[in-house]
Amino acid sequence: MLNQSEETFLLKLRMTLLERGKDENVVEAIEEELRDHFHEAHAHGHSTKSITDHSVESYINHISQEVPHDRKWVRFLTKTITMVLLLTILPSFFYGQFNLTLGLIIHLAIVLLVGFLIWKVIKTIVIKWGYEILSRDKTPIKLYVACFFLGIIVMGLFVASIYFTSHYPIYTFITLSSRTSLIVGCVLIGIILCITALKKEWMLMMVALLITLPNLITFMIFGNNESQQAVTTEVVILLILLVVFNVVNFMMFRKTDKEADER
């Protein structure tokens, strides 16, 4: 078993290499090679501080020329950003007139910024508590508390951003009629569903349906009417879809887990 400084170094090495877009298979090979080097050093009574006492960045810079970039990772990042932007603005097409405003653009920028910050926080959490989880095979209570407060902060930022967008549009660039908004929204969701089906991204497909179907069905029934009945209908549809989503997700997880056990 490696000590805490060595495991932490390996965790940070892996995450930083992936963050820089290096090929995942090569990253795994580098990690295993360095892990074997640590074990061999322990076996011969040698210290590993010549590596662990230096920064991960300096070690990566020393070997980075030998590690190819993973273009699939770049494509995945581009696809993820595109999908996040689409799924963020898509529900707006089913609330009557769609307005492309400066406030909406700021909201999208905040969504991307929050996503980037979440990745940084997750990286910090893994590096800070990764060794404790691996060595004890138990998640520390501090991690649950950190994730809880992180969730509250993220939701607070999103709610504040949505409030800002709806109440302070600042400047309107484009306004679409209700009919045009509905058509554009249906076309976009159709494209997303086709792409996710072809790529077999079932989870992303379910998320797309989850955030658009309640708005779409409510809009088709009540139009622009924002009555209490329309709100109640949208909430009921959302709750039903959430139950279906969780059941399907649970079944997929059990199927994957069962297949892994059979291997």
Contact assessment for residue 119 and residue 244, using Cβ atoms and an 8 Å cutoff: no
| Pairing of β 172-176 and β 98-101 | antiparallel
Contact assessment for residue 42 and residue 18, using Cβ atoms and an 8 Å cutoff: no
Q: Report the percent of the chain where pLDDT is more than 90.
A: 4
What's the whole-number average pLDDT of the chain? 79
User: Looking at 16-30, 164-178, 231-245, which range is the least confident one?
Assistant: 16-30
Higher-confidence position of 101 and 225: 101
Q: How confident is the model at residue 91 (pLDDT cuts 50, 70, 90)?
A: confident
Q: Residue 73: its pLDDT value, please? A: 66
pLDDT tens-digit series, residues 212-221:
888 888 888 8
Burial (CB count within 10 angstroms: exposed 0-12, middle 13-18, buried 19+), residue 61? exposed
Contact assessment for residue 98 and residue 175, using Cβ atoms and an 8 Å cutoff: yes
CB atoms within 10 A of CB 198: 8
Give the residue extent of every domain in the chain.
4-69, 98-176, 179-262
Average pLDDT of the segment spanning 2-25: 78
Q: Report the percent of the chain where pLDDT is more than 70.
A: 85
Residues 6+ apart with CB under 8 A from 77: none
pLDDT at 173 over 90: yes
Higher-confidence position of 80 and 256: 80
pLDDT at 51 over 70: yes
pLDDT at 263 over 60: no
Q: In 3-state terms, what secondary structure has residue 47?
A: coil
CA–CA separation, 100 vs 232, rounded Å? Answer: 27
